[in-house]
Amino acid sequence: MIAEEKKIFLERVLELYKNSGKDVRLKRINECKSFGFLKDRLDGRVVSFENFSYPKKGVSDEEMILYFLLINSINHKFWEIKNGKIIRYENNGNVGAIAMGKGISQWILSEGSIEAFFKNKKRKSDLDNYLGEIPGAQMRLEIINEVILKGKEIQKIIIKKMKNGFGIKLAQDISEHLSLGYKDVFLKKAQLALFMMATHFKNEKSMHISECLTSFPDYQIPKVLEGLGFIEYSESLKKHINDGVLIEKNSKEEIGLRAASVLAIEEISKMTKVSSVEIDLVLWSMRTEIKANFHLSDTTCY
């Protein structure tokens, strides 16, 4: 059943790719010169979410579900343009998603527990105190408060359904219940939240989580795939990316970038027998090695 969910979802992604125009092209994986290099990296892979783990021990599974829903709800767009320059989000010596994750953990700890954090709506002054000058602060505050208001509803659904395993339908449930932070045709943040939960629980039903989900298409993954030669950009798209031109959310260009990334990783998965989720995480870990620009889209999806 869960495998069928993924199959249907990938058929939808393929349809999106075919309808996205010609700005992003999938290459034949076995013809890419970087395939052997990537395979070696996959063979030595270590999958870890240490930077997103809650620093307090003895926390219940129910609370950890809320924690992963919260932290992934605002796991997006860690850059902004100021005076024509792209500025990455930094806070307390950390950058991007890692800075956000550590800030959220400290915020929760200041209130005593995850359960206590979820008792009251948050104020902008609280967010500023723990997350610093994070881009889109007001929108993130609204997303956080949506998770506080509705998080326990989806928590109950996750607890009930995870007995049968984690899959695409459960990610869709998260996307529908927490739409401010999670609405996304590619279910990037919802799938990532489920993978973090399953990795944390390490029970029988979560052991095969990697086989039930797709990759998590953001702005770093297409950059790495293009840099390694697994996808190819049109000259106009490459110029837009290099010039820092904003690519409109849900435009054909943006859909093409994300759909091609998911499909390319699925093909690599078939050839290497490594799950698409693990491939995604290895590619993301290579983001600083690929000296290229990532595309800019003003979105809460990633």
Task: Give the model's pLDDT for residue 208.
Answer: 64
Task: Give the model's pLDDT for residue 51.
Answer: 61
Q: How far is CA 99 from CA 90, 94, 202, in A?
A: 6, 5, 26
**Where is average pLDDT lowest: 156-170, 203-217, 245-259, 287-301?**
203-217
Region 32-43: mean pLDDT is 94
Task: Give the model's pLDDT for residue 222.
Answer: 98
Using the predicted structure, report yes or no on whether residue 96 has a pLDDT greater than 60.
Answer: yes
Region 260-284: mean pLDDT is 95
Task: Give the model's pLDDT for residue 48.
Answer: 66
Task: Give the model's pLDDT for residue 2.
Answer: 83
How far apart (Å, rounded) are the C-alpha atoms in residues 149 and 291?
Answer: 41
The two structure tokens encoding residue 233 = 């950009």
Predicted model pTM:
0.93
| Residue 112: count of CB within 10 angstroms of its CB | 10
Using the predicted structure, report yes or no on whether residue 211 has a pLDDT greater than 90.
Answer: no
Give the position of tokens 């990633």: 302
Long-range interactions of 41-48: CB distance < 8 A, separation 24+: 41/282, 41/286, 42/272, 42/274, 42/278, 42/279, 42/282, 45/274, 45/278, 45/281, 45/282, 47/199, 47/278, 47/281
Using the predicted structure, report yes or no on whether residue 52 has a pLDDT greater than 90.
Answer: no
Region 208-214: mean pLDDT is 81
Q: Per-residue pLDDT tens for 59-93?
A: 999 999 999 999 999 999 999 999 989 999 999 99
Using the predicted structure, report yes or no on whether residue 295 has a pLDDT greater than 70.
Answer: yes
**Where is average pLDDT lowest: 56-60, 96-100, 263-267?**
56-60
Using the predicted structure, report yes or no on whether residue 154 has a pLDDT greater than 90.
Answer: yes
How far apart (Å, rounded) are the C-alpha atoms in residues 248 and 177?
Answer: 25
Using the predicted structure, report yes or no on whether residue 230 has a pLDDT greater than 90.
Answer: yes
Task: Give the model's pLDDT for residue 205.
Answer: 53
User: pLDDT-derived band of residue 165, with 50, 70 and 90 as boundaries?
Assistant: confident
Task: Give the model's pLDDT for residue 219.
Answer: 95
R_g of the chain computed on alpha carbons: 19
State the average pLDDT for the chain.
93
Q: Per-residue pLDDT tens for 244-255?
A: 999 999 999 999
How far apart (Å, rounded) are the C-alpha atoms in residues 158 and 194?
Answer: 9
Using the predicted structure, report yes or no on whether residue 203 has a pLDDT greater than 70.
Answer: no
How far apart (Å, rounded) are the C-alpha atoms in residues 290 and 296?
Answer: 17
Using the predicted structure, report yes or no on whether residue 50 has a pLDDT greater than 80.
Answer: no
User: pLDDT-derived band of residue 228, with 50, 70 and 90 as boundaries?
Assistant: very high
Region 138-143: mean pLDDT is 98
Using the predicted structure, report yes or no on whether residue 204 has a pLDDT greater than 70.
Answer: no
Region 115-126: mean pLDDT is 97
Q: Per-residue pLDDT tens for 169-195?
A: 999 999 999 999 999 999 999 999 999
- Of residues 263, 222, 232, the one with CA closest to residue 11: 263
Are 206 and 166 in contact by the 8 Å Cβ rule? The answer is yes
Question: What is the percentage of the chain residues whose pLDDT exceeds 90?
Answer: 85
Task: Give the model's pLDDT for residue 207.
Answer: 54
